[in-house]
Structure 1
Amino acid sequence: MSFDLDLGGQRALVTGGTKGVGAAVVRALLAADARVVAAARTTPQVAAPGLDYIAADLMTAEGCAALAREVLARFGGIDIVVNVLGGSSAPPGGFAALTDEEWQKELNQNLMPSVRLDRALLPSMIAQGSGVIIHVTSIQHELPLPEATTAYAAAKAALSTYSKSLSKEVAPKGIRVARVSPGWVETEAAVAFATRLASEAGTDYEGGKKIIMDSLGGIPLGRPAKPEEVADLIVFLASPRAAAITGTEFVIDGGTVPTA
């Protein structure tokens, strides 16, 4: 049996599409012959072949609205939206270090871009009677690290709950909504973080990775996921091969989250 994902010609938007998991999703969609726009705050000087970039500050309502208008103008509609954008700049120090401003930053980076883009792009999906939205959450909403990720984890939990509710609302209109919840992924940023921890601890990169894995309570698989592994899951879920899947969250974390 052929495992063609049947994504040829599908119009896709990927937020956070220039680095890490987002860039891997873009590459996988292009390899499946989809038409792809990658959005990020800054865009590369040299574009990948067959790929459009749109620079947008998605932490603002204006940036999300401008991106949605540009995508619809270029494509005349949209078939797939993958909201990868996320991250945290909150300081360490637990709850006391989280001012109202820090909380708002985490929500603006990890929840509101998805909410705003969905609100702007869903009408075109509803009009055509089809579409797929993938929200990238995080295992942090189940396993938060109190020292530094409380606000990030809470924002991702809100994104997960919002996604579930949205899926129930739009499924009867032909639109699927799914969530992908990664654990630690070996992105460029993760490599830099592990390298810094290794230097501070007087060890090598593998030692730095172990420090991170230990802080998560261990990864039974023994390693972080690769961006390409997360991207493959996302692109499968966006494809017609997953046509009966909606409303579900798929964890890809090497077994980090303990389950019964």
Structure 2
Amino acid sequence: MSDFLDLGGQRALITSGTRGAGAATVDLFRKLGARVLTTALSFPAGSAADVSVVADLATSEGCSTVAEAVRRELGGVDIVVHMLGGSSAPAGGFSALSDGDWHKELNLNLFPAVRLDRELVPQMVAHGRGVIIHVSSIQRLLPLPEATTAYAAAKAALSTYSKSLSKEVSPRGVRVVRVSPGWIDTEASMELARRVASDAGTDIEGGRKIIMDSLGGIPIGRPSSPAEIANLVAFLASGRAASITGAEYVIDGGTVPTV
């Protein structure tokens, strides 16, 4: 693998790197030679990153803490992977979403990228090189009205912001790319499948099928694995993707049914 992809000597910030696709990306980047700083609200024993920073990136203070740690511990950054995201909004459609729910979704899925880029991208521009990867979601294209309206809208905003940033900084040597996963096979998604299965009176495989059906089906018949997301992110961050910027790469097993 390292004969084809090499991140040796690269300094990388990967947010939310303790589980799921974030943890897989941290692990792969380190195997490929990068020095990695990652973030979380708390860390399990034996974190894989070179530097682990406890911070709440849903706040401006948390983003400042991480940016300062990047400068102090890494001396700057060459690659930023905005992996953080998620949703705590209630089900029930648009009328169930309060102002507070909307603010939470934007503070988790949009503003951390905006704030960290504002802190870190100027140094990349000054050096004439760097890669920013914004992890969005196919939900920006396929919102589920019952449960993901605010999350999908926040990810859509992230995608639009990412495209605009790419147009501004790519002429100065900084690439900006989007990765949009579909359903990923993580501990959190399996817990969701268990809850769905329990509510429907079926087993976990039945719960997984209900979720896939709610997405309109996944043609390959399964979610993506965290490692598959990490593989795509690593390629896009590497010199192998040197002419790729301003683009979105969907990794969803064929879920999005349109061109």
Counterpart Cα distance in 1 of 2:155 and 2:75: 31
Query: Structure 1 unaligned runs (5+)?
Result: none
Normalising by structure 1, we get a TM-score of 0.97
Q: How does 1:137-216 map to 2 (within 5 A)?
A: 137-216=136-215
Counterpart Cα distance in 1 of 2:47 and 2:186: 20
Q: Secondary structure at the match of 1:178?
A: strand
Could you tell me which residue of structure 2 aligns to residue 14 of structure 1?
Answer: 14
Counterpart Cα distance in 2 of 1:121 and 1:10: 15
Counterpart Cα distance in 2 of 1:93 and 1:11: 43
How far does residue 55 in structure 1 lie from its aligned partner after superposition? 0.6
How far does residue 26 in structure 1 lie from its aligned partner after superposition? 0.4
Query: Structure 2 unaligned runs (5+)?
Result: none
1:33 and 2:36 matched: no
How far does residue 205 in structure 1 lie from its aligned partner after superposition? 1.5
Could you tell me which residue of structure 2 aligns to residue 233 of structure 1?
Answer: 232
Counterpart Cα distance in 2 of 1:235 and 1:86: 19
Could you tell me which residue of structure 2 aligns to residue 246 of structure 1?
Answer: 245
Counterpart Cα distance in 2 of 1:53 and 1:150: 32
Counterpart Cα distance in 1 of 2:217 and 2:147: 18
Q: Secondary structure at the match of 2:57?
A: coil
How far does residue 129 in structure 1 lie from its aligned partner after superposition? 1.1
Could you tell me which residue of structure 1 aligns to residue 95 of structure 2?
Answer: 96
Q: Secondary structure at the match of 2:167?
A: helix
Counterpart Cα distance in 2 of 1:79 and 1:68: 13
How far does residue 44 in structure 1 lie from its aligned partner after superposition? 2.0
Work out the number of aligned pairs and report it: 259
1:220 and 2:215 matched: no
How far does residue 40 in structure 1 lie from its aligned partner after superposition? 1.0
Letter in structure 1 aligned against 2:43: T
Could you tell me which residue of structure 1 aligns to residue 80 of structure 2?
Answer: 81
1:258 and 2:223 matched: no
Supply the RMSD in Å over aligned alpha carbons.
Answer: 1.3
How far does residue 200 in structure 1 lie from its aligned partner after superposition? 2.1
The ranges of structure 1 where at least 4 consecutive aligned residues each deviate by more than 6 angstroms after the TM superposition are none
Letter in structure 2 aligned against 1:85: L
* Aligned-residue identity in percent: 66
Q: Deviations over 1:18-70 (max 9, x none)?
A: 1111111101101101100111111223333x621111100000110111011
Counterpart Cα distance in 1 of 2:37 and 2:77: 10
Counterpart Cα distance in 2 of 1:100 and 1:201: 31
How far does residue 2 in structure 1 lie from its aligned partner after superposition? 7.7
Q: Deviations over 1:136-190 (max 9, x none)?
A: 0000000000001000000000000000000010001100000000000011100
Q: How does 1:44-55 map to 2 (within 5 A)?
A: 44-48=44-48, 51-55=50-54
